[in-house]
Structure 1
Amino acid sequence: MAKFFIVFLASALCFTTLLHFAAADADDLDRFHIKGSVYCDTCRVQFMTRLSKVLEGAKVKLECKGRENQTVTLTKEAVTDKDGKYEMVVMGDHEEEVCEIILEESPDAECSEVNNQEFLRNAARISLTANDGIVSNEVRTINPLGFMRKTSLADCPLVFKELGIVPDVIF
C-alpha cells in the first residue's frame, strides 16, 4: 500500500509540474534582461586595471537591425548608474536580426571629447533569442564597454609592473 501511495504522489507531482510549464506564458521566453558596464581606460591598455574608472551617466543604446536590409527594428537606451552599470529589459525574439549595444556618450571630458571620441570598445553584439543554445533565456551580460583617455595616468607604469606586462606604449 505504501508503495502505491509513493508512486501516486510522484505521478501527481510530475503531472502538476507539466501543467505549470504548459500554463507558462510564452512571452517569458522572449524577455531578456541585459546588463553591462562602462569604464574609462585610464592606462590605455584596453582592459580594466585598478586605475580604471567606472563612468556614471554614460549613455548606451541597444539597436537591432534586419540581417538582409539593415532596417532598424528596435532601439532602446540606458544610462549607467554610480557604479558604471546599466540594465535594460527587452521583449520579443530577435533571432533574424543583428543586435548590438552601442556606447554613445561619455559624461567624463577626460575620457572623451565631444567631436573626437576615442572609444576603447564601442559596441558589443548580443543574442536576443531563446533559440541560440544559451542556457539562460533571461539574462544577457555584456562585456564592459569603455572610453580611453587621450593620455595615460602617471601611475600606469607601476600598474603594468604589478601585472607583469610590458605595454606597447611610450610614456
Structure 2
Amino acid sequence: MARFFILMALCVLPALVSARPTRPNFIVQGKVYCDTCQAGFETSATTYIKGAKVRVECRNRETGLPTYSIEGLTDKNGCYKIPVADDHENEICESVLVSSPQSECATIVAGRERSRVVLTHNNGVISDTRYANNLGFQKDAPLAGCAKLLKQYEYDG
C-alpha cells in the first residue's frame, strides 16, 4: 500500500508542479492627448486622440541595444493598452509616441514623447497593469479662447 502512495506521488506531483499557472503578460496602459492650447501640458481644453500609434520599447540597460518592441493604437478615448510578453527586469522600457492620425495635431510636445515603465514582477507590484504617463501632441495653432483659459494657470507668487 505504501508503494502505491509513493508511486502515485511520483506521478501526480510533477503534473501539479507543471500545471502551476504562469503570470500573464503585462499590460502597458496610458493616454495620448492633443494639447489644443499649446500649453505644454494638459488643460481643460485638452482632447484625447483616437488612432494614435504608440510603441512600447525596451533596451538593454548596459548596452542600450533594443531588446523588445510592440506597437498599439489608442481607442476612442485616447487610451492604449498594449500587451507585453515576458519579464524585462534588466531592461529599460518606455511607452513612446509614434504618430498621430490628426494632421493638425501631430507635433510632439517636448518632454511628453515618452514615459518609462517598469516591466518586472520582481519589484513588489502585484498588478500586471503598468501605467505610463500621458503622452502628447500639440495643435499647429491654439484654439480661440486659449489665452483666457491659460490665465487661470498663472501663478503670481
Q: Which interval holds the TM-score relative to the shorter structure?
A: 0.7 to 0.9
1:70 and 2:91 aligned? no
Structure 1: 5+ residue stretches without partners: 1-22
- In structure 1, the residue matched to 2:154 is 166
- In structure 2, the residue matched to 1:59 is 53
Deviation at 1:155, TM superposition (A): 1.3
Q: CA 1:91–1:118 in structure 2 vs 1: closer, same or farther (change >3 Å)?
A: closer
The counterpart of 1:133, out of the listed 106, 109, 124, is 124
Identity %: 39
- In structure 2, the residue matched to 1:80 is 74
Q: CA 1:46–1:24 in structure 2 vs 1: closer, same or farther (change >3 Å)?
A: farther
Bigger Cα displacement from structure 2, 125-134 vs 148-157: 148-157
- In structure 2, the residue matched to 1:35 is 29
CA distance in 1 between partners of 2:131 and 2:41 (Å): 17
CA distance in 1 between partners of 2:127 and 2:68 (Å): 19
Normalised to the residue count of structure 2, the TM-score between the two structures is 0.79
* DSSP 3-state at the match of 2:39: coil
Q: Deviations over 1:102-130 (max 9, x none)?
A: 00001111112xxxx33341000110001
Deviation at 1:70, TM superposition (A): 1.7
* DSSP 3-state at the match of 2:104: coil
Deviation at 1:80, TM superposition (A): 0.8
Deviation at 1:71, TM superposition (A): 1.9
Counterparts of 1:90-101 in structure 2, within 5 Å, are 90-101=84-95
Deviation at 1:44, TM superposition (A): 1.7
